[in-house]
Amino acid sequence: MILFKLFLVFLKAGLFTIGSGYSMLVLAQRYVVDTYHWLSLQEFTDLVAISEITPGPIMVNLATFVGTKTAGIKGAFAATLGLIIVPFIALYFIANGYFQFKGNPFVQNLLKVVRPMAIGFIIVALIRLFRTSITDIKTVLIAIIVIVVTYIFKVNPVITVIAGLALGLFLK
């Protein structure tokens, strides 16, 4: 039963959210933390951070981590399959028809609505992550430094992550 629940939760995340993996975080948190209590909010936030710094798409990583914690390797497979099956099928058909229909006024109008929706979902996810990640002056400073170094000074995010991991090992 747990494998089916994992599959359905991440199927819903893949089916009913628009935008990037960040926009899926809102729905994932609702089910994983609030509905099924598979993770605490702190655990969820920690796994989001780990999912961000590990190779691969954030939501695929998160689904794999949640599935593994909840039901082992079978859970990882069920959650990840649930997440990717609908977007995979949709992307297959969109990729085959995008260039043919990209100039269509209906498609252009659809994209004008979908883009701001995706940004809205991402902002909601960021607000929720902010509440559990930015807890004191030290975490505020870390966030500001990462923004400045990565956005303003254009330092490669890989270097920023490696530097952050190194600092995290030595600072308390």
| Residue 45, domain member (yes or no) | yes
| Residue 158, domain member (yes or no) | no
Residue whose C-alpha is closest to residue 43's, from 14, 75, 68, 19: 68
User: pLDDT-derived band of residue 19, with 50, 70 and 90 as boundaries?
Assistant: low
| Residue 149, domain member (yes or no) | no
Average pLDDT of the residues in 50-67: 92
Alpha carbon 28 to chain centroid, angstroms: 9
| Residue 47, domain member (yes or no) | yes
Answer for the pair 89, 82: CB distance below 8 angstroms, yes or no: no
Number of domains in the chain: 1
Determine the pLDDT at residue 172. Answer: 66
Average pLDDT, the chain: 89
Residues whose CB falls within 8 Å of the CB of residue 7, separated by 6 or more in sequence, listed in order: 78, 79, 81, 82
pTM of the model: 0.69
| Residue 128, domain member (yes or no) | yes
- In terms of C-beta density within 10 A (0-12 exposed, 13-18 middle, 19 or more buried), how is residue 35 classed? exposed
**Taking 90 as the threshold, does the pLDDT of residue 118 lie above it?**
no
| Residue 171, domain member (yes or no) | no
Question: Percentage of the chain with pLDDT > 70?
Answer: 98
Which of 31-35, 155-159, 165-169 has the highest average model confidence (pLDDT)? 31-35
| Residue 146, domain member (yes or no) | no
Structural domain of 15: 2-133
d(CA 84, CA 91): 10
**Taking 90 as the threshold, does the pLDDT of residue 24 lie above it?**
no
Contacts 24+ apart (CB under 8 A), 164-168: 165/53
Minimum mean pLDDT among 3-7, 77-81, 82-86, 126-130: which range?
A: 126-130
Determine the pLDDT at residue 79. Answer: 97
Minimum mean pLDDT among 17-21, 49-53, 66-70, 81-85: which range?
A: 17-21
Q: What is the residue whose two structure tokens read 């199927």?
A: 11
| Residue 150, domain member (yes or no) | no
Query: How many CB atoms within 10 Å of residue 107?
Result: 14
